[in-house]
Amino acid sequence: MKHKSLYDFITFYKFSVTVVLLKNILNKLNNKGFNENMCCPHCKSDNIIKNGKYKRKQRFICKDCDKNFNSLTNTPISMSHMADKWPLFIECLIKGLSLRASEAEIGVTYVTLFYWRHKLMRALKSTENNSFAGAAEADDTFLAYSEKGSRKISGREPKKSGNKYCLGEDNKVLLLVAVDHRDHLLLKASASKNSYVSLIYESLGGVVSSNEVFCSNYNTFYKHFANLKGIKQHFRVSPYNRTEEKNIDLAYRSRRAVETWLYRFRGIASKYLNNYLSLYNCLRKSNLDKTEIGITNFMKALRYVNIKESYASIRALNLAH
């Protein structure tokens, strides 16, 4: 095939590679052998067999409940009219593209992509399962409270650049970052005033053991949490008393990585912040060095997400807020 310009050749080559990539990913997901530990999304039974194909998608039937399904039933993709576009959408998420840039790449309006993103994030948030082992570290930062996208904002003065946030100020969001030495990461955010101790206890209470070492920064609410939890080996680390054994370097690096990732969105409504943190955690666990592997692992992980929300239900929920 002859191309009129170098741009046409690059565009054609990119399109051809993308088509091959999509076919490889979708073929893998439709293969029962690739989907190890696959079970019925309705009754969770693993007594399933193949049951023909519909629109080139492998169907399965459960021998216990006699219900049909495919590899994406009850996942965020299942009720989409453009399911074949999701691998490209996930690739754009991995690359950190904006909704407008993703629209140009995928050919789907940015409004639809907005609801795809939130449907995906709500599903990921419902499957969080953090369990720490051994010593843990915690760090935090404060982000500006945001009502981005809201059409009803009243009683707020114009923003000023260069705001510094400290304890006791309004219009701030606490971002908690906790990590152990086995790459388990917990991310939580709270926009509620004077709820820091409750956020810390609810988030860390079930994952940090009272018999293990717990290092944190010098904020007072960690001291309150350690007293409530009965942690005897709690070390409040500052630049003046840190050692090689007692520090929060890992938590600090994780916090900086999260802040850098959040910055690419140029502002996130505070009510959605925890959803974005769930997305970051899932992306972090995927193999992002190789695009095909990363997208495949991400979509494979979505198979274990059980969600029945549709575009319309997500839209109604967002409008209600």
CATH number at residue 256: 3.30.420
| Count of domains for the chain | 2
pLDDT at position 319 is 45
What are the backbone dihedrals phi and psi of residue 143, each rounded to the nearest 5 degrees, phi first? -110, 155
Q: What is the DSSP string of 17-73?
A: HHHHHHHHHHHHHT-TTTSTT---TTT----EEEEEEETTEEEEEETTT--EEETTT
For residue 243, being part of any structural domain is answered with: yes
Judgement on whether residues 144 and 175 belong to the same structural domain of the protein: yes
**Domain end call among 247, 268, 289:** 268
CB-CB contact of 111 with 195 (8 Å): no
Judgement on whether residues 229 and 123 belong to the same structural domain of the protein: no
For residue 39, being part of any structural domain is answered with: yes
For residue 295, being part of any structural domain is answered with: no
**Domain end call among 224, 250, 268:** 268
For residue 67, being part of any structural domain is answered with: yes
- Containing structural domain, residue 68: 6-127+300-320
Judgement on whether residues 92 and 176 belong to the same structural domain of the protein: no
Judgement on whether residues 143 and 72 belong to the same structural domain of the protein: no
Nearest to 205 by CA among 194, 197, 213: 197
d(CA 125, CA 272): 11
Report residue 134 as tokens.
């051994």
**209 DSSP assignment:** -
Q: Strand ranges (DSSP E) for 112-184?
A: 136-144, 172-180
Buried b / exposed e along 20-50 (16+ C-beta atoms within 10 A): ebbeebbebbbeeeebeebbbbbeeeeebee
pLDDT at position 177 is 93
Burial class (CB in 10 A: 0-12, 13-18, 19+), 98: middle
For residue 1, being part of any structural domain is answered with: no
Judgement on whether residues 228 and 254 belong to the same structural domain of the protein: yes
d(CA 229, CA 21): 49
d(CA 250, CA 179): 7
Question: Roughly how many angstroms between the first and final C-alpha of the chain, as a whole number?
Answer: 52
Judgement on whether residues 140 and 260 belong to the same structural domain of the protein: yes
For residue 292, being part of any structural domain is answered with: no
Angle 311-320/110-125 helices, nearest 10 degrees? 90
For residue 285, being part of any structural domain is answered with: no
Judgement on whether residues 144 and 222 belong to the same structural domain of the protein: yes
Side by side, which strands form the sheet with 136-144? 185-190, 172-180, 136-144, 214-216, 234-236
Judgement on whether residues 144 and 123 belong to the same structural domain of the protein: no
For residue 23, being part of any structural domain is answered with: yes
pLDDT at position 109 is 92
Residues of the chain predicted below pLDDT 50 = 1-19, 32-34, 289, 311, 317, 319-321
| Residue 126 neighbours by CB under 8 Å, 6+ apart | 305, 307
Judgement on whether residues 242 and 311 belong to the same structural domain of the protein: no
**Domain end call among 245, 268, 291:** 268
CB-CB contact of 148 with 95 (8 Å): no
57 - beta bridge partners?
54
Judgement on whether residues 82 and 182 belong to the same structural domain of the protein: no
Judgement on whether residues 23 and 93 belong to the same structural domain of the protein: yes
Burial class (CB in 10 A: 0-12, 13-18, 19+), 142: middle
Nearest to 247 by CA among 135, 140, 137, 132: 137
Please name the amino acid found at residue 215: C
Judgement on whether residues 29 and 113 belong to the same structural domain of the protein: yes
43 - beta bridge partners?
none
